[in-house]
Amino acid sequence: MNPASNLILVGPMGAGKTCIGKRLAERYGLRLADADREIEQRTGASVTAIFEHEGEAGFRARESAVLAELLQADGLLLATGGGAVLAADNRRLLRERGFVVQLQVSVEQQLERLAADRSRPLLARGDREQVLRDLAQARAPYYAQVADLRFDTAAMTAAEAATQLAVALDRHWRRIAAPPSPSVSEVNA
């Protein structure tokens, strides 16, 4: 059992990291940080604009810096970007500084959830389904490498997933000096 005070969500785009993260942060009294939003706030530019001007390598460098800074704190729920696990230093940091939950989702479910989303630079490269399949294949070993717990979000709303994941977290994750947790039914409140 990993007693880390931080809870970190990793997984592909469309898995629900931010939506589920909001509910879990509230339940566990953690400060929510979305890595992509942090990067946007600090740069004053969207992820798409950063990709356009600096390329993926520039974005990944910014992502690593933000992760390192955010994870200096305790009591954080961090929703990472889908590619945060690509860098070995990021994977080490995630494992050292938090209890890592890998949110899983099928490519079909991703396509459905992201159908109207045009803000994802990696999905602007042709056949969205093939891009998602390629990303899944390339990133799956890295997600598995950092995960303390795996949780499938397919066919669930964010509220349902947060409720069910909270039950699993209560069994597998005990925060250091954790405050009393509200009941699972309060997750949807």
Task: Answer for the pair 105, 153: CB distance below 8 angstroms, yes or no.
Answer: yes
Q: Find out whether 58 is annotated in a ligand binding site.
A: no
Residue 34 annotated in ligand binding:
no
The answer to whether residues 102 and 10 touch, using CB atoms and an 8 Å cutoff, is: yes
User: Does 139 count as an annotated binding residue?
Assistant: yes
Whether the CA torsion 69, 74, 80, 83 is positive or negative: it is positive
> Is 153 marked as a binding-site residue?
no
Copy the structure tokens of residue 67: 């992760």
Q: Give residues with Cβ within 8 angstroms of 160, minimum separation 6.
A: none
82 is in an annotated binding site: yes
Q: Known binder of ligand: residue 150?
A: no
Find out whether 14 is annotated in a ligand binding site.
yes
Nearest to 22 by CA among 180, 161, 176: 161
Residue 120 is labelled as binding a ligand = yes
Beta pairing partners, 79: 9, 34
Report whether 171 belongs to an annotated binding site.
no
Annotated binding site: 14-19, 36, 60, 82, 120, 139
Annotated binding site for Mg(2+): 18
Annotated binding site for substrate: 36, 60, 82, 139
Annotated binding site for ATP: 14-19, 120
